[in-house]
Amino acid sequence: MCQDPLHGRHDLTNAQWAKLEPLLPAGKKSGRPPVHTKRRLIDGIRWRTRAGAPWRDVPERYGP
């Protein structure tokens, strides 16, 4: 599991992320850089799906 304190116990492990990351589309290079990483956004979506909670209840560590 990732040792970053911002990651929850059910977030993607480094091994899982290494398999998933190449399958995601590349981001656009123009404009402002993204505030949150794709990994953090996916972990937030997974948390919401697992918990069955509304979007407003997703923990702040996953972004707004």
pLDDT at position 7 is 60
Report the distance separating Cα 48 and Cα 27, nearest Å: 24
CA-based nearest residue to 39, from 60, 57, 63, 5: 63
pLDDT per residue as tens, the chain (64 positions):
444 545 667 889 999 999 999 999 887 777 888 888 899 999 999 999 999 999 899 988 888 7
Report the distance separating Cα 48 and Cα 32, nearest Å: 27
pLDDT at position 15 is 93
Question: pTM for this structure?
Answer: 0.74
In whole angstroms, what separates CA 30 from the centre of its chain? Answer: 22
